[in-house]
Amino acid sequence: MVYDVISILDFSRNEIMQLFDLTDKIRQILPKRRKIPILSGYTAALAFFEPSTRTRLSFELACKKLGMDTLTIIGESAISLMKGERFSDTIRMLDSYSDLILIRHPADGASRFAAEVAESPVINCGDGAHEHPTQALIDLYTIHKFKGNINNLTIGILGDVRFARTVVSLLRGLTLFDPKKVYIISPPFLHLRDVYRDELKKRGLNFEEKDSLLDVLPELDVLYVVRIQKERFPDPSDYEKVKGSYMVTHKIIKEYAKDDLIILHPLPRVEELALDIDNTKYAKYFDQAKFGIYVRIALITLIFGVQDKIS
Ligand code: NCD
């Protein structure tokens, strides 16, 4: 199993399936037992230099369910980086205080750099517009649970595929499986970056880029929606140009989608996914958020190699 989790491509398909089996097991045990304290005495440091709700809370809860202590730093202003401390010094300090480092950072590559400095395992909880591998594990698990597999499905990914790191990780993750077809749907300005388009081609993913959801909606088994990543726009006036350029509503889903379509979203949602979908059978994004806790418990368990202690 992996040690550092920087990219979804740090995993093989088999390792992902092993993680899913353990996640299933944990989902069965936890409601009854409340805690599985197989890592008590260990400490996790959560270093979140960018806003986060679900990722931080679910990782913190996952650590606590395993019996770990947690240390948290939030925002650059809360720590000495504001005083000019080097990032590498901050990581060295966290490394000496903890056994696991969970890091979210606005710069692409920050987690890889942290992993090079730290001896403890490092989990990338989102680095700039690069990757968010644990979100992709959750996304893949959700698809697997609701559809029974990941292969042979037609999957649409809609939104800001240019800046959304969850999309990069999910697309890379899908290359480890054999989906029937992946449609990458975005307004022109928010197209996939060339480097990822080339990589996906090389890795043999069967994908096509589209600019209209309606063209492909009737074919989809899964629709994954992401918000426009406003904070990543180099020029705020560009954001104004694309703001509100796509929105999924219950009306279009009812009219065009397959009856058993499932809709996923890593959240937070802004205006790309109408609230009237929430209480329909299509909406799986709240289940997806909940699965996050279990997937993260399973991941930490496997990193520490203590899966045999779960019974
Ligand atoms: C995502 C992120 O931070 O990249 N959120 C999350 O972790 N669930 C998605 C987003 O911010 O749009």
Q: How confident is residue 32, by pLDDT bands cut at 50, 70 and 90? A: confident
Express each pLDDT in 247-261 by its tens digit: 999 999 999 999 999
Residue 3 lies in a domain: no
Q: Which domain holds residue 144?
A: 133-289
Helices (H), ranges, the chain:
13-33, 54-65, 87-97, 110-117, 133-147, 165-174, 194-202, 213-216, 236-242, 250-256, 285-303
Whether residue 237 is found in the same domain as residue 273: yes
Q: Give the pLDDT confidence score for residue 236 in this predicted structure.
A: 87
Give CA–CA dist 100/151, Å, rounded. Answer: 33
Assessment of whether the complete model's pTM goes beyond 0.95: yes
For the chain, what's the residue count?
311
Residue 2 lies in a domain: no
Whether residue 57 is found in the same domain as residue 150: no
CATH code where residue 106 lies: 3.40.50.1370
Whether residue 221 is found in the same domain as residue 107: no
Whether residue 29 is found in the same domain as residue 111: yes
- Beta carbons within 8 Å of 2's beta carbon, 6+ residues apart: 10, 11, 15, 302, 303
Q: How confident is residue 85, by pLDDT bands cut at 50, 70 and 90? A: confident
Whether residue 281 is found in the same domain as residue 142: yes
Q: For the chain, first and last CA: distance in Å?
A: 19
- Active-site positions read 54-55, 83, 104, 132
Whether the pLDDT of residue 94 is over 90: the answer is yes
Whether residue 29 is found in the same domain as residue 109: yes
Whether the pLDDT of residue 77 is over 80: the answer is no
Q: How confident is residue 306, by pLDDT bands cut at 50, 70 and 90? A: very high
Ligand 1 atom 1, closest CA: 266
135 CB within 6 A, ligand 1: yes
Confirm if 205 and 232 have CB atoms less than 8 A apart. no
Q: Give the pLDDT confidence score for residue 167 in this predicted structure.
A: 98
For residue 50, give the ligand 1 atom closest to its CA: 3
Total domains present in the chain? 2
Whether residue 150 is found in the same domain as residue 199: yes
Dihedral of CA atoms 195, 200, 204, 205 in degrees, nearest 10, equals -160
120 CB within 6 A, ligand 1: no
CA of 159 to the centre of ligand 1 (A): 13
Whether residue 153 is found in the same domain as residue 283: yes
Residue 264 lies in a domain: yes
3-state DSSP assignment of residue 37: coil
Ligand 1 atom 11, closest CA: 268
